[in-house]
Amino acid sequence: MSKFTQHFRMNEQDAMAYVADKMDYFDEGAVLEASEIGDGNINYVFVVRDTVSDKSIVLKHADVLLRSSGRELDVDRNRIEAEVLALQNKYAPGLVPKVYMYDPVMCVVVMEDISAYKNLRTELLARKTFPTFAEDITTFMVNTLLPTTDLVMDSGAKKDAQASYINKDLCKISEDLVLTEPFIDYKGRNIIIEGQLPYIEEHVYGDKELVLQAGILKNNFMNNAQALLHGDLHSGSIFANQDGVKVLDPEFAFYGPIGYDVGNVIGNLMFAWIHGQVVEEDLTFVQWIEETITQIIDLFVKKFNVAYDELVTDVMAKTPEYKAWYLQSILSDTAGYAGTEIIRRTIGDSKVAEVSGVEDHDKRIKLERGLIQLGKALILKRDDFKTASDYRNLLNK
């Protein structure tokens, strides 16, 4: 009898047995080995390889308990991930790993091994640059986001999709850790380095206008079911090499504001930008990041306009004025959520390596204050970020 008829937490041996039991991906005579390569807080990721043919496959396995803290987290996130990856591969072929199988019992997504691509955050920390990144990530965003909106989909089908991707538990994580606690530390989970608290009390917790605007962005996150988002599009969910990118890990996917995804990409590039500036003092790299940020805005707007004219079916949305309003609201959200991402990764409990890896205390203080100022400008003046040059001006200030 199959070992896999009831959910349990799998180990490397189980991953190999699972592949042998469920798939016919490997050739006869394959000699399998498996290793667990997960580096996140949430799931278990196994690569299973045939040492004879060197073919490999990846299993992402959700346990009922969170990997890091051991608390419970809805395993339905694994279904959402499998379905959303398949959908993204339909809309943006080749930009996500192919899904081979989803198993709701064991909570396993079996997918293409994309180990030829590397974690973008780690690569940017090594100051590597990627010639196709702005092109690929804007194609990914425009092609996966616009087709899932009410402007393109049948209204009933869109509501069914929205219901299917409610994603309560993972949205609650973002509502708290991104859009509440960095501004009001009501659970006492923020992590603030020595000497920084007075600055944060004055410039973040004590800035009533900032807290209000973050609250408005939170309300928009929870109520503006605009498109099926990736939901966690930070530079650790993006893998890149000189040939292109692959986007992973859409388990936070839900129907939310498009600018949340675009803003996550922009905000995370700003960590690389400030790290290159304050820690590395590498102007060539900093300039590449600046160009990439501005290209992403330019290309997103350009591609969005083209796709809009091709795809939009809603008669109300077919005027140039409506299109301009819609795009402007996305750009405002983009700046706002770039800002909330920057502030939450600086103050909140889920830091990025560009911040937490800075060992020199004075540099870290300086880098964090720079990030807080960037984040605030993006949130408070989000309606003013309409073009690439608005971002260039912000960075050059």
- Name the residues that contact ligand ADP, by CB under 6 A: 37-40, 42-43, 45, 58, 60, 97, 111-115, 119, 248-249, 251
Contacts with Mg ion: how many residues (CB under 5 A)?
A: 3
Query: Residue 115 binds which one of ligand ADP, Mg ion, none, with CB within 5 to 8 A depending on kind?
Result: ligand ADP
Q: Which of residues 80-139 bind Mg ion (CB under 5 A)?
A: none
Instruction: Pick between residue 96 and residue 358 the one whose CB is nearest to ligand ADP.
Output: 96
As given in the structure block, the two tokens for residue 203 are 């410039």
Which CB, 49 or 376, lies closer to ligand ADP?
49
Q: Decide if 261 contacts 230 (C-beta within 8 A).
A: yes
Q: With respect to ligand ADP, which residue has the nearer C-beta, 77 or 364? A: 77
Q: Binding partner of residue 119 among Mg ion, ligand ADP, none, CB under 5 to 8 Å per kind?
A: ligand ADP
The answer to whether residues 123 and 240 touch, using CB atoms and an 8 Å cutoff, is yes
Cβ contact 97:111 at 8 Å? yes
In whole angstroms, what is the distance from residue 273 CA to residue 280 CA?
10
Q: Which amino acid is at 100?
A: Y
Q: Report the relative pairing of strands 244-247 and 238-241 from DSSP bridges.
A: antiparallel
Smallest distance, Å, CB 68 to ligand ADP? 9
Using CA atoms, how far apart are residues 231 and 242, in angstroms rounded to an integer? 25
Which residues ranging from 30 to 49 are in contact with Mg ion (CB under 5 A)? 40, 42
Q: Which residue among 207, 249, 261, 290 contacts Mg ion (CB under 5 A)?
A: 249
* CA pair distance 273, 310, nearest whole angstrom: 35
If contact means CB under 5 to 8 A according to the sort of partner, which of ligand ADP, Mg ion, none does residue 114 touch? ligand ADP
282: left (phi over 0), alpha (psi -120 to 50) or beta: beta
* Residue 147 or 267 with smaller CB distance to Mg ion: 267
Task: Return d(Cα 270, Cα 388) in angstroms, integer.
Answer: 14
Which of ligand ADP, Mg ion, none lies near 215, with the C-beta cut-off 5 to 8 A by kind?
none
Residue closer to ligand ADP, measured from CB, 113 or 135 = 113
Smallest distance from Mg ion to CB 208, Å:
34
- 360 DSSP 8-state letter: S
Contacts to Mg ion by CB under 5 A:
40, 42, 249
